[in-house]
Structure 1
Amino acid sequence: MAWSPIDRIDQALLALEFAIKVMNYVALGKINKEDLDCNTLIRLPGGNLSFGKSTFHTYDDLVHASENLYSQALAASAVAMEAALQGAGIRNDPNDRSDRGHVRSLIYMVRSAFAHDPQVPAWSVRGPYAQQIRLRFGRHDLKVDMGALDGQPLALEHFGGPLVFWDLMHEVRAWVCEGSPS
């Protein structure tokens, strides 16, 4: 199935929201470990997939698994944003100093960090990307020294935190709906 740029963003938003809700439910102790961590058999056309009980030895294992799910959803979201923008013809140009150009470059750099290592993403900021950028979109107005981030583990707090990332996804969706890079 070929996904449109909007489909990519919508599915990434759905997966990210699901991961956030699972992580929140686990953090609040709302998931019963024993109910979740039971023998599970999934019948598939090519054979069965079976999981035994006690995969999660402690509730902390559930916490870590939910955090990993969230991190993987962030990675998929970053890749989806980049793919959606490319699919809509909204190119990346690190020399574009407009508000949109800076936001577009950030999306590319976040995607690159996750693409190189989705489990432990790190910034790789070189050449024209190693610059001070200003992220102005929606209600956000932030300055980020991208060059100073080179080699550091990626943290959403480097550019405003999870709320900014969430809003960034919605901003990208709006751009893709417009279908115009300007």
Structure 2
Amino acid sequence: MKILPTYPTNEAQEIDEALNILELTIRLETGFRYEFINHKCFESNMEINKNTNSIFNDNYHAGKNPVLKNRFRNLVLTAIGTASSALDKALDKKFGNKNPEDHSQVGSIRNIIYMIRCAFTHDPCNPTWICYEKYQKKPYALTIDKSVSKRIIFAENSSQTLNFEYDFEKLTDTSVNFKHFHALDGFFLLAEYAHTLVSN
């Protein structure tokens, strides 16, 4: 049975698929780190296209190279870039043009997602905050209830909400750090909150 590719047909589905890809890359990175993935996958000839008999050769030697760990991390970074682009596009279609002076909950998430998108679009493997001056005038802050997330199971003894604050005047021209999102689970929370806004 031939499995056809699935193409998102609306903005909410685009966000879903982008987050599915991000989750997959994190699972792959984690799987490699804990040696759930056989290194032979990276050290053997591998078919690319059955119709043309094209293959990757066996000189990649990635399984023996610690650099591969960084490549898996770069895979995660590029998936964050894809997700932030999908989020930014969907929010624009839902709410129209962004307003840098809008510091409401909705305005803040939109401007934060846009700055994340800019950081990853310009340099996916080494994202740097590129914050235009009009986004630097005042920090953006928002609080998100963790129950918004359908993907992440947070620790029961942790706070029910997560606070985000971005001072882009201080962040501009600095490297993006996962701590800026409260780690990857925080990025998912930002993304899933944006998803609820698009879906409503």
Work out whether the TM-score is over 0.5. Answer: yes
After TM superposition, where is structure 1 displaced by more than 3 Å over at least 4 residues in a row?
none
Quick one: which amino acid aligns to residue 184 of structure 2?
P
Which structure is richer in relative contact order (CA contacts within 8 A, separation 6 or more)? Answer: 1
In the alignment, structure 1 residue 89 sits paired with structure 2 residue 111:
no
Q: Do 2:109 and 2:194's aligned partners in 1 also have CA atoms closer than 8 Å?
A: no
Q: Which range moves more in the overlay, 1-10 or 108-117?
A: 1-10
Normalising by structure 2, we get a TM-score of 0.80
Cα deviation code 1:107-145 (max 9, x no counterpart) = 000001111121211111232211212122222223322
Q: Does 1:8 align with 2:14?
A: yes
Q: Is the 8 A contact 1:103 1:136 kept in 2?
A: no
Counterparts of 1:159 and 1:146, CA distance in 2: 14
Does 1:116 find its partner at 2:116? no
Higher mean C-alpha displacement, 33-42 vs 101-110: 33-42
**Inter-CA distance 132–35: structure 2 relative to 1 (3 Å threshold):** closer
Q: Which moved more, 1:55-64 or 1:22-31?
A: 55-64
Aligned residue type for 2:167:
D
Query: What residue ranges of structure 1 are gaps of 5+ in the alignment?
Result: none
What are the ranges of 5 or more consecutive residues in structure 2 without an aligned counterpart?
1-6, 146-160
Alpha-carbon distance in structure 2 between the residues aligned to 1:159 and 1:41: 38
8 A Cα contact 2:22 2:76, kept in partner: yes
Match of residue 134, structure 1, among 131, 141, 145: 141
The answer on whether the counterparts of 1:38 and 1:52 sit within 8 Å (CA) in structure 2 is: yes
- Alignment partners' CA distance in 1, 2:9 and 2:97: 19
Q: Note if contact 1:94-1:105 (Cα within 8 Å) is conserved in structure 2.
A: yes
1:49 aligns with 2:71: no
Aligned to 1:144: 166
> 1:170 corresponds to which residue?
192
- Deviation, 1:48, is 4.6
Aligned residue pairs total 177
Give the letter for the 1:73 counterpart.
A
Q: What is aligned with 2:150? A: none
Alignment-derived partner of residue 156 in structure 2: none
Post-superposition offset of 1:151: 0.3
Residue 151 of structure 2 is matched in structure 1 by none
Correspondent of 2:36 among 26, 30, 53:
30
For residues 42 and 159 of structure 1, the distance between their equivalents in structure 2, rounded to whole angstroms, comes to 36
Q: Which residue of 2 aligns with 1:74?
A: 80
Taking the aligned partners of 2:54 and 2:92, their CA distance within structure 1 comes to 36
Q: Match for residue 21 of structure 1?
A: 27
**Which residue number corresponds to residue 154 of structure 2?**
none
TM-score by length of 1: 0.87
CA distance in 2, matches of 1:114, 1:171: 20
How far residue 44 of structure 1 moved from its aligned partner, in angstroms, is 6.0
- When residues 59 and 31 of structure 1 are mapped into structure 2, their CA distance, relative to the original with a 3 A threshold, is farther
CA distance in 2, matches of 1:95, 1:35: 50
